[in-house]
């Protein structure tokens, strides 16, 4: 029997995007899951060909639904249930532009705070 639709939370849990179904439901409630560009509730019907965007760790994963599942499946089968169209992450050099203070160096001085604000592009008023 082929499924024609599945709940967003059960599908995202079934293809191992979330560790538990309740975590998938919570992510839907928080607005971290979008289907075809719209924020969805956990019970939203999902169909083959829909685009699912899942926000995790500050980045969006873009998935196209290829197969519907309502039960948790193995990792190999789960990988066949979607096409991952997530853009590659930015290079590490671009991410590491924020200066880091040495551990245990204490609070920054007023001069150091001004320099940090200047690097971040904040306007001193």
According to DSSP, residue 18 is labeled S
pLDDT greater at residue 112 or residue 101: 112
pLDDT tens string 39-75: 999 999 999 999 999 998 778 899 999 999 999 999 9
Q: Which domains does the chain have, with CATH numbers?
A: 6-89 (3.10.290.10)
Measured CA to CA, the distance from residue 28 to residue 82 in angstroms comes to 18
| pTM of this structure | 0.71
């Amino acid at each position: 029997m082929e499924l024609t639709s599945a709940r967003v939370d059960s599908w995202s849990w079934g293809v191992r995007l979330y560790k538990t179904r309740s975590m998938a439901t919570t992510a839907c409630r928080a607005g971290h899951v979008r289907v075809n560009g719209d924020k969805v509730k956990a019970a939203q019907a999902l169909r083959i060909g829909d685009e699912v965007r899942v926000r995790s760790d500050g980045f969006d994963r873009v998935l196209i639904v290829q197969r519907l599942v309502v039960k948790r499946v193995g990792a190999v089968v789960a990988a066949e249930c979607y096409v991952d169209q997530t853009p590659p992450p930015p290079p590490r050099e671009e991410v590491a532009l924020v200066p880091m203070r040495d551990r245990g160096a204490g609070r920054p001085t007023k001069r150091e705070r001004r320099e940090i604000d200047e690097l971040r592009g904040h306007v001193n008023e």
